[in-house]
Amino acid sequence: MTRTLVACAALAALVLATPASAQGGADTVPASVALFYDALNAAPGKDVSGLLMRATAPEWVSCGGNDVCGSREQVIAAIAGRHGAVPDLRWEIKEVLVSGQRVVVRGEASGTPAGDFLGVPHGGKSFKLMSIDVHTIEAGRIARSYHVEDWIGAVRQLSVW
């Protein structure tokens, strides 16, 4: 079985093992996870670094495709860069599943790039994409995150004539 299939099977098992009472919306979001998504939302003067430092453990890593992981400092810089490219970026929590120390978030990001973005010439168009994040919480802070976002879908939306 490939790593992707194993990861999908593990995520499905986590979701199926989650009691209905632990599934819900913003009222069931752990504080560190709420801070994390607040940091993802762009706003002039927002202390993104401070929010992420409060939400995450010092050794926090965020891993995307092919187990490529970034350190806390690398991810903070990447988020700041994304805010510069998409100054109205909004990241909304759509669904939360909690099982022990694991928090799975289905999110939705939207925004309008201020210039060329992901290889697409600036055209003033907006995008909306889905994300899935699996966070591990230790001592009240996010210790590790795995994430998948549909940036190819965003590129398609920005490229459509």
Domain boundaries, the chain: 3-159
Q: How far is CA 101 from CA 27, 43, 64, 139, 147, in A?
A: 17, 30, 20, 10, 16
Digit-coded pLDDT (tens) for 103-145 = 999 999 999 999 999 999 999 999 999 999 999 999 999 999 9
What pLDDT is stored for residue 4 in this prediction? 38
Q: What is the pTM of this model?
A: 0.81
pLDDT at residue 19 tops 70: no
**Residue 28: pLDDT band by 50, 70, 90 thresholds?**
confident
Q: What 8-state DSSP symbol labels residue 86?
A: S
Give me the chain's average pLDDT, please.
86
What pLDDT is stored for residue 67 in this prediction? 83
Torsion of Cα atoms, 149 then 139 then 7 then 39, to 10°: 0
Digit-coded pLDDT (tens) for 67-110 = 899 999 999 999 999 999 999 999 999 999 999 999 999 999 99
Average pLDDT over residues 16-31: 54
CATH fold for the domain made of 3-159: Nuclear Transport Factor 2; Chain: A, (3.10.450)
What pLDDT is stored for residue 139 in this prediction? 97
